């Protein structure tokens, strides 16, 4: 699918998505009102229904105005039936009087027509680089216009960043180039009669170059020294290609116009390696290797097994407090790993009798403080040993716990509704 056609389809479907979101919002708001009324709570969000409906009507008028610009009457009817009345494809085919098999081809033609109209509207907008820069400098919708400026010059920025991508991720370079673009916007003067990109290219490349010098090497080397190193390698390569032998130190120093001190710093940078793991950290008796993290986790390897053993010992001490029959059933089930049928055969009783003994043992163990401690250690909240959720509390639990659960549910729905309105795009 062409980009124009895809853009047209996304534009036309905005009304359908808005209608669906509005219905979902109204349903969630009604459910939240029931919960808060039942709990006598005032924690209701503001009702944004009127605001959403107003946005919906404005969006519908915008889409209708675009459809009305389509010259072909059949295509116009198709778009109106599908994207304003939300009819099914078979109904649309009946409405415009065509075969269902040909409706897809007509739909693509209609989308192309809408895409051309949207593209023409974009062209009519004054979104040249210089116009966008002027808007940004004037403080007019800075975030949106800066995004437009970046998007319409993305290919140019990518080409600037590509030469540095052999050492640094291209995504990081594109982000750094954006900062260079911002600097170019702030410093651009349209009265000089220069195109914006002519000025921006130096700022973008300068930002990329500085970032490369800072982050493109394992060892940090000053930018001015990297430039000299590059000139050194170029001169040595050219000299060896012409003369078949490397140049002397005096020739290099003379060609690069370096003092003795500068040349010594250059030679040091050429021969200096990255620091060794055996190097001693200044001011300590530790080596660099001592500060490097390894995969050994003392908590998982040592502390957790010790704590697990202690908790398991507490569990079996609690089991030892049961009657001999119940203790024997639990040990056969959970120490020896036998099923209820195997335990029944071992003890010569029925399977239902083993299930009864197991259930009786559970009831006794739940009252033991050691078992409650073990449950909390393994992440099981011993206070929530019930089945049925709020239905259990409605019949057997306290009113305080039931209201608390309702409040938690209300807060969750409130958060979902607030997130919906934070993420909605109100632009028409």
> 181 and 157 in contact (C-beta within 8 Å)?
yes
- Measured distance CA(31)–CA(44) in Å, rounded: 11
> How would residue 388 be classed by pLDDT, with cut points 50, 70 and 90?
very low
- Give the model's pLDDT for residue 272: 57
Q: What value does the mean pLDDT take over residues 197-208?
A: 88
What is the 8-class DSSP label of residue 245?
Answer: S
Q: What value does the mean pLDDT take over residues 4-24?
A: 77
- Give the model's pLDDT for residue 82: 85
For residue 280, the SS3 value is: strand
What's the pLDDT tens digit per position in 158-180? 988 888 887 788 888 898 899 99
Helix (H) / strand (E) containing 172: helix 170-187
Domain boundaries 3-124, CATH class: mainly alpha
- Give the model's pLDDT for residue 384: 45
Domain range annotation of the chain = 3-124, 129-215, 223-271, 308-406
- Give the model's pLDDT for residue 217: 57
Q: How far apart are the first and last CA of the chain?
A: 24
> 107 and 82 in contact (C-beta within 8 Å)?
yes
Q: Identical fold at 3-124 and 129-215?
A: no
pTM: 0.34
Token representation of residue 199: 């000025």
The CATH-assigned architecture of domain 308-406 is Orthogonal Bundle (1.10)
- Given the structure tokens 């990329």, which residue do they identify? 208
- Measured distance CA(86)–CA(191) in Å, rounded: 52
Residues 269-290 as b or e (16 or more Cβ within 10 Å = b): beeeeeeeeeeeeeeeeeeeee
| Third-level CATH fold of 129-215 | 1.20.120
> 168 and 208 in contact (C-beta within 8 Å)?
no
> 424 and 14 in contact (C-beta within 8 Å)?
no
What's the pLDDT tens digit per position in 176-198? 899 999 999 999 888 888 888 88
């Amino acid at each position: 699918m062409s980009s124009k056609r895809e853009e047209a389809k996304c534009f036309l479907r905005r009304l359908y998505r808005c209608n669906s979101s509005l219905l979902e919002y109204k349903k969630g708001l009604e459910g939240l009102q029931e919960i808060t009324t039942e709990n006598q709570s005032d924690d209701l969000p503001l009702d944004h229904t009127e605001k959403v409906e107003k946005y919906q009507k404005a969006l519908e008028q915008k889409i209708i105005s675009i459809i009305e610009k389509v010259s072909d009457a059949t295509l116009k009817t198709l778009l109106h039936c599908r994207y304003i009345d939300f009819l099914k494809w078979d109904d649309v085919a009946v409405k415009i009087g065509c075969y269902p098999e040909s409706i897809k081809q007509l739909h693509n033609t209609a989308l192309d027509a809408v895409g051309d109209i949207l593209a023409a509207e974009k062209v009519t907008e004054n979104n040249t680089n210089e116009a966008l820069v002027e808007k940004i400098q004037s403080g007019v919708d800075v975030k949106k216009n800066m995004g437009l400026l970046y998007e319409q010059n993305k290919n140019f920025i990518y080409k600037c960043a590509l030469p540095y991508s052999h050492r640094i991720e291209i995504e990081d370079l594109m982000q750094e180039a954006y900062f260079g673009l911002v600097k170019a916007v702030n410093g651009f003067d349209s009265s000089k009669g220069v195109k914006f990109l002519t000025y921006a290219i130096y700022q973008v490349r300068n930002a990329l170059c500085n970032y490369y010098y800072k982050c493109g090497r394992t060892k940090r080397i000053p930018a001015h020294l990297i430039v000299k190193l590059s000139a050194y390698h170029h001169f040595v390569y050219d000299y060896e290609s012409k003369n078949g032998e490397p140049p002397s130190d005096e020739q290099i120093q003379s060609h690069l116009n370096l003092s003795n001190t500068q040349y010594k710093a250059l030679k040091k940078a050429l021969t200096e390696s990255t620091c060794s793991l055996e190097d001693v950290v200044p001011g300590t008796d530790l080596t660099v290797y001592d500060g490097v993290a390894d995969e050994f986790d003392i908590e998982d390897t040592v502390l957790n097994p010790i704590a697990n053993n202690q908790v398991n010992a507490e569990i079996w001490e609690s089991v030892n407090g049961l009657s001999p029959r119940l203790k024997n059933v639990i040990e056969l089930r959970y120490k020896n790993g036998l099923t209820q049928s195997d335990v029944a055969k071992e003890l010569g009783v029925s399977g239902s009798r083993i299930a009864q003994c197991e259930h009786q043992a559970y009831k006794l163990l739940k009252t033991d403080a050691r078992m409650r401690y073990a449950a909390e250690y393994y992440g099981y909240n011993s206070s929530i040993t019930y089945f049925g959720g709020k239905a259990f509390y409605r019949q057997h639990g306290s009113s305080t716990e039931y209201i608390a659960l309702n409040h938690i549910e209300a807060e969750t729905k409130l958060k979902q509704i607030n997130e919906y309105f934070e993420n909605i795009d109100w632009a028409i």
